[in-house]
Structure 1
């Protein structure tokens, strides 16, 4: 949670005011050392920051230094500065943030969280931190989700109603709405999802000159909130109403068409616009969404009067997809020696890249808190299973950038709970010269990040980002792996 708070703080620095801008500028000053410095340089910077702490005049100076030390992975030094600041500013933001992290987020039950929240707003009232409503909105969203998971919809809705930042509240409303939908509480979920959808639409349709970082952040949630709300309308057979929302959305944000495609198809079918629905399915299938095949075949037969020609049509769509993937992976091609590693797996056994020479190795850098990473895992599982009998291919899932002290237990719990048959390695061993974990040595700047390494130990492909499309991931991995099996031609 500290990492998320820092990231968002820097994201919004340009719109937050002079103090926050200074903080961002001071952090930026040390980015070269944070990102590319040697271990000696990082140690020297940490030492210099500790030496200057005594001269700080504002709490903001302490906060910036804490964030820098966190990014340098100087946990002990960071705690030292935190303790000094807590003593100097017992009613300040740093002490409050430590309370939120150590007490609120570590509370086990909703009742305990609620008690911690009451203590939070009593000791650190919102009115005393009017420039930081987002900090409290994080807490409120978490508390609301906890009550929603308990089945206590009234309390969940109550705490969502306390949120202040319109641009961000969808991040609380959407998860709670989805939890309530799973519990079949459509009555409570629908207005929450509609509010999130309306908020996103408002920011999405602002004049370009008014779109600041907040507006851009808010508009990113439009497809998910829209899809969830319109699915409710479709389930209620309110197809015309659903179509009106969708078609307005596609005019305002045509780039979100993929995220709305399935609900658009259902709405078109519900209003009898079958040819348009067929065109939607064709595009989905051509992008690797093979789960729609039964609907596509049925609609093809209905529109053409028979099933004749369908197999050739189907094959042409798959051929088009395969060629698109082959063209796409050319953009990911590279050629350089893969840094060697020797890391521990979940059983405490050592696994090295050198021991896998002669195999094509797929490295997937991920973290338990990384939603795009988790979203891609069903597809990666399908890809791994398709190579289960190929002794020349090895998948390794490199768990990295975890922040919790008990990260190993969290990783084991996550993998076990989801029944993933992955070989997971802990990327927590730092290079003695640079102080970098393997993710940094591979040049990873964001996760998920995947590397395809050939049998000679060379990186042949590097890709970032994710999709939840299982079939597409499976096809893409096949093309990458099979290409890496072939000799490098330069």
Structure 2
């Protein structure tokens, strides 16, 4: 390692950047990447950038670009990327830039198809053995665009060209659900069945054969099974649906909750009413109140009347509340919330200090984060529940966006879905650390929610999400009401 690079990296342990594997490089500089000051990060970025002109291989450039991206030195990263395009016009980095800058920015299926053909012409799959997954991402996106436009023929044509069996279910499932939602059951059914069968294959492998690919493929089992079985249920093929579900629960009992909706309907359709009632009761007790009509029907059928139902219903809801209260105890904390001043969609400054005296709910999210998006109907319902309470404020902190035009995308997303949210852009870095607000709050993954009391202290912190609107409403109510009370300590 050259002396000038060591000097620039004096605040870190010594590294051999050009020869080092990416993971080794990131691991050695982890303390600076995660907790370094602005000057430390700038020093590391300068050191990396100054070494670039000595590189011989595309992999060295890839490491440099990834490091500069992590350090958020976009100007240097773009400069290195331009050099790569000139030096390796047929390489994978230039190919990836084309995919990002041309293919993904194309909007219509026809435009994406044109870009895909250009991709194959300039960067054939055969030139990149072991990188077939990069092309599968593109194929899935292309098929999805055609599916959204209602062109099932072109969508399935491109899905059939995918290479990696362990991953293709992502494309098949997304397209299948899109076509199903549009009413094209004929085209959706074989796609969902393929996804289900693939996932079943991987989930049924002996434990010693389950690598990361197998585990990834297995994750789609419940969703594809639920969608496919839902088609069978709608067609009245209850026995076939039930056979598939019970087969699934044998090899993957952890999927029981995800399959509960189609399970009870299949049990009901085959006359197994008591079992259907038991599954329904568990669903309702977990906050899925949309099944109440069926629950009432079975209650009256099995009990001969509706006598006692009100008491039974109240008991289920009280049990759920107790369960939520026990659950949120695990999320308790008590520490001052980092102060902030962020701009909203109108360009106005919103500060935490200005909200003192209110319980504040922070929801960190991004437009690309599907779990975040799935929780929004529930969060909207929770916010509506407190619409007349001036002592509660919901703030939706948009963070970790990947595109330069993210602000326009955020506005478009909020307007399209008509969410009445107060959205703040998390793009103002701390001058001392260079961190955005998410990092200052210790966020490692999104969605992440913080409940801050009237005195500015974080009382609860939770990650993950649920698509269950009723459950989110009840959970947020318990969190907010608990935060209104004085801290026990």
Partner SS, residue 479 of structure 1: helix
1:212-254 Cα deviation digits (max 9, x unpaired)? 1111111111111110111111111111111111011111111
1:256-295 Cα deviation digits (max 9, x unpaired)? 1111100011111110000000001100011011111111
Deviates more, 1:24-33 or 1:152-161: 24-33
Q: Is 1:412 the counterpart of 2:439 in the alignment?
A: no
**Alpha carbon RMSD of aligned pairs, Å?**
1.0
Unaligned runs of 5+ in 1: 1-20
TM alignment of 1:288-307, pairs within 5 A:
288-307=287-306
Q: What is the rounded CA distance, in whole Å, between the counterparts of 1:197 and 1:68 in structure 2?
A: 38
Partner SS, residue 466 of structure 2: coil
1:81: Cα distance to partner? 1.2
Runs of 4+ aligned structure 1 residues displaced above 6 Å come to none
Q: Is 1:221 the counterpart of 2:220 in the alignment?
A: yes
Q: What is the rounded CA distance, in whole Å, between the counterparts of 2:271 and 2:113 in structure 1?
A: 49
In structure 2, the residue matched to 1:63 is: 62
1:29: Cα distance to partner? 3.0
1:26: Cα distance to partner? 2.8
In structure 1, the residue matched to 2:128 is: 129
TM alignment of 1:108-257, pairs within 5 A:
108-257=107-256
In structure 1, the residue matched to 2:488 is: 489
CA contact (8 A) 1:140 1:162 kept: yes
Q: What is the rounded CA distance, in whole Å, between the counterparts of 1:328 and 1:412 in structure 2?
A: 34
Q: What is the rounded CA distance, in whole Å, between the counterparts of 1:223 and 1:405 in structure 2?
A: 35
In structure 1, the residue matched to 2:7 is: none
Q: What is the rounded CA distance, in whole Å, between the counterparts of 2:455 and 2:28 in structure 1?
A: 40
In structure 1, the residue matched to 2:5 is: none
Partner SS, residue 362 of structure 1: strand
1:28: Cα distance to partner? 3.0
Q: What is the rounded CA distance, in whole Å, between the counterparts of 2:347 and 2:319 in structure 1?
A: 44
TM alignment of 1:458-469, pairs within 5 A:
458-469=457-468
In structure 2, the residue matched to 1:361 is: 360
1:25: Cα distance to partner? 3.1
Q: What is the rounded CA distance, in whole Å, between the counterparts of 1:384 and 1:251 in structure 2?
A: 40
Partner SS, residue 344 of structure 1: strand
Q: What is the rounded CA distance, in whole Å, between the counterparts of 2:441 and 2:450 in structure 1?
A: 9
Q: What is the rounded CA distance, in whole Å, between the counterparts of 2:264 and 2:310 in structure 1?
A: 22
Q: What is the rounded CA distance, in whole Å, between the counterparts of 1:324 and 1:268 in structure 2?
A: 27
In structure 2, the residue matched to 1:5 is: none
Deviates more, 1:306-315 or 1:21-30: 21-30
CA contact (8 A) 1:366 1:448 kept: yes
Q: Is 1:342 the counterpart of 2:372 in the alignment?
A: no
1:183: Cα distance to partner? 2.0
TM alignment of 1:385-404, pairs within 5 A:
385-404=384-403
CA contact (8 A) 1:275 1:303 kept: yes
Q: What is the rounded CA distance, in whole Å, between the counterparts of 2:28 and 2:447 in structure 1?
A: 27
Q: What is the rounded CA distance, in whole Å, between the counterparts of 2:25 and 2:120 in structure 1?
A: 30
CA contact (8 A) 1:27 1:64 kept: no
CA contact (8 A) 1:429 1:437 kept: yes
CA contact (8 A) 1:23 1:60 kept: no
Partner SS, residue 378 of structure 2: helix
